[in-house]
A and B are shown apart, each in its own frame.
Chain A
Amino acid sequence: MNTSIRILIADLPEVVVEMLDQAIQQQPDLEWLGNVQGWEEIAVTVAQTDVLILGVEDVYALPEACFYFLRNQPNLKILLLTITDDEAIAYWRALHCHQLQITSSLSLIESIRQIYSLSPF
């Protein structure tokens, strides 16, 4: 049984992705699924994903495709992260959401664990 949290990163600045890759590889309970760009690439891997971290300009506008992913994957958590400041919002089933501030790679990792543990219901 796979107990690690599987993480997919999408549309974040490359330099941030490089740092997160290093940081997540060091966490035994986290599994790095990859870094992708755009909805087509996300759709290929999202079925195996527990937490999708998606870089966006506005965390308050959930992209249309995310509704589809959340409807089809009850356990999926989506963390929208702004690329211009520290704001983030975690979305999960039935459009529950939880506002966060990500101020370091460590706080992002803590947030991943926190939102993963949220009940899907």
Chain B
Amino acid sequence: MQNDRPLTKLVSANGSLADSKQDCLTQLVQEQWIQPNLCLSIVSHSHLLREALARLLQTDWNHRLKHSSKEGDTSDTADSISTAEKLTQHLVLLDYGIGRDLMIPSIQQWRSQHPGCYVVVVELKQESDLILDCIEAGAHGYVLQGASSLEIAQTIERVCRGEAHCSPIITAKLFERLAQTKMAQKNAQPLREKPSLTQREIEVLHYVAQGCSDREIAAKLVIEVRTVKHHVHNLLRKLHVKYRWQAAQLAIENGWLAKI
């Protein structure tokens, strides 16, 4: 395979070249469009999608586009959240392409730190459980894969009016899940006992709670990615949860990571 990589430099939304990822992110965070009504942040790993959303929504909607940011870089996410504090109305477009494991904690993070902030997930797969997880995490709206800029703009408009929209099937499943959650709350123990976890599993859980990917955890602990996957698999089994964000939530809520 030839691997010339002639176009490896990152290009920010204003077209200028950045020499490093961090420089580029800084430029993106600083980029602002001055429109008075609404601030919009786009979170995606894809430069092309960010550019497309920014351009088309600007044209169609004249939103205030505060910045595009790349999820996965914690300092950048922290930066964008801190900038959002200064604004009264703020909407975040989260691309499902950042991955399910990163998306759910991101929604929760935005919602918990900024209750006034609207969160809309774009390019979401048409899977009921996934949509319900997003809603449960705090998303105000979602747009499925293949949606046009017009559909995205309409969803944003609806969300900003305080309206929610989902298909009758999703609505029915949402009712079902609400009922189940209520039942579960009734039977829930106030504090879950810490299961017996190995030292390595606790270390992995610590990084999972920080939103690190398997690859990042492997690099930090100097172990193979498949070993990390093995530890995560064991963690989910021992904690009786389906997703890693649930494991992280459980650990944080019960203070299991406090001594690390």
Contacts and interface: CB of A to CB of B under 8 A. Distances in A.
Tell me, yes or no, whether A binds B: yes
Interface of A: 13-16, 18-20, 81-86, 96-108, 110-111, 114
Given A15-B56, A15-B152, A83 B7 contact: no
A85 B2 contact: no
B46 A82 contact: yes
Nearest to A22: B55
B47 interface: yes
A60 B147 CA distance: 26
B53 A114 contact: no
Given A15-B52, A82-B46, A98 B97 contact: no
A85 B97 contact: yes
Interface stretch (B9-17, B83-91, B190-198, B227-235): B9-17
Contacts of B52: 13, 15-16, 18-20, 105
Given A15-B152, A83-B97, A100 B46 contact: no
B246 interface: no
Contacts of A104: 11, 13, 15, 47-48, 51
Contacts of B98: 84
Contact of B47 (A13, A103, A111): A103
A111 B148 CA distance: 25
Contacts of A18: 52, 56, 148-149
A98 B4 contact: yes
A85 B1 contact: no
Given A15-B52, A84-B46, A101-B8, 11 more contacts: A14-B149, A18-B148, A18-B149, A81-B48, A86-B48, A98-B2, A98-B3, A99-B4, A101-B5, A104-B11, A105-B51
B115 interface: no
A121 to B, nearest CB: 14
B7 A15 contact: no
B111 interface: no
B95 to A, nearest CB: 8
Nearest to B59: A22
Contacts of A107: 7, 11
B11 A13 contact: no
Nearest to B72: A85
A33 B113 CA distance: 46
| Central interface residue in B2, B7, B11, B97, by most chain A CB within 10 Å | B7
Contact of A83 (B8, B51, B123, B148): B123
A20 B2 CA distance: 27
A20 B48 CA distance: 9
Given A98-B4, A100-B5, A85 B45 contact: yes
B51 A99 contact: no
23 contacts: A13-B52, A14-B149, A15-B49, A15-B122, A15-B148, A18-B148, A19-B55, A19-B56, A84-B45, A84-B46, A84-B97, A84-B98, A96-B2, A97-B1, A99-B2, A100-B7, A103-B47, A104-B11, A104-B13, A104-B48, A106-B11, A106-B15, A107-B11
